[in-house]
Amino acid sequence: ALESTTIKLHKLTALVPVTDELLEDAPALGSYVQRKAADVIDFKVTDAIVNGSGAGIPLGILNAACTVQQAKESSQVAATIHGLNLAKWRPSAVWLAHPDVEPELMKAGLQVGPAAAGSATGGALIFMPPGGISGAPYASLFGRPIVPCQACAALGTAGDLIFAAMPQYAAVLKAGGLRSDTSIHLWFDQGVTAFRFTFRMGGQPWWSAAISAKNGSTTYGPFVKLETR
């Protein structure tokens, strides 16, 4: 079955006032402002892709109807990552993880024996550190890369660790990318030059909803988050 969808471009703007004296004393400041504005816009776009509500900004992964939530283990200690939380996810994409989650991943292992879910797991570790410049640039979990992402939620809350098949997220950009403009007229009486940066994009997952398996109880989706612990 085919369904139609519309992705609307949203405008993100950064306005930076710089005094004329500062521009005279630091000739390279204009290129610095442009570089830093691009960094800030990059973060805002990333945050929208992860957390966006879809109202005036892109629809983010955590608010999409196709995102599947993985239940925690019974008796699991709060704000922890357990090996069994992750063994139930299909390892075919990348992991988006808040930096505070990484120490938990380093000690995550598969449970051996009847120990409670919140205790030491034992067994083989499932985390692999990065191999440096000559090897893998990212740490891995079940063989898939772990990408640190400040847009992810705090440790222990839904969204601190996300399993994401990013090709299943549709991002539409305005041709030309980041647009920059400069004006001396906006604050002319104050001797201030205005730098304006504009970026237009829209986005949402390709999937409109998660899919239930024909047989069994598994629910499939392009993104998986671990529920609050």
Find out whether 144 and 94 touch, Cβ atoms under 8 Å: yes
Q: Which two tokens stand for residue 210?
A: 């998660």
41/31 Cα distance (integer angstroms): 15
What pLDDT is attached to residue 122?
58
Rounded to two decimals, the pTM is 0.86
pLDDT in 10s for each residue of the chain, 229 residues: 788 889 999 999 999 999 999 999 998 998 999 999 999 999 999 999 999 999 999 999 999 999 999 888 887 888 888 787 887 666 558 999 999 999 988 887 776 655 454 444 556 778 888 876 656 788 888 888 999 999 999 999 999 999 999 999 999 999 889 999 999 999 999 999 999 999 999 999 999 999 998 898 889 999 999 999 8
Give the strand pairing for 192-205 and 179-187.
antiparallel
What's the burial of 197, exposed, middle or buried (CB within 10 Å: 0-12/13-18/19+)?
buried
How many Cβ atoms are within 10 Å of 38's Cβ, its own excluded?
Answer: 16
Tokens in use for 99? 């930096």
pLDDT of res. 74: 80
φ, ψ for residue 188, nearest 5 deg: -60, -40
pLDDT of residue 216: 87
Q: What is the pLDDT of residue 113?
A: 57
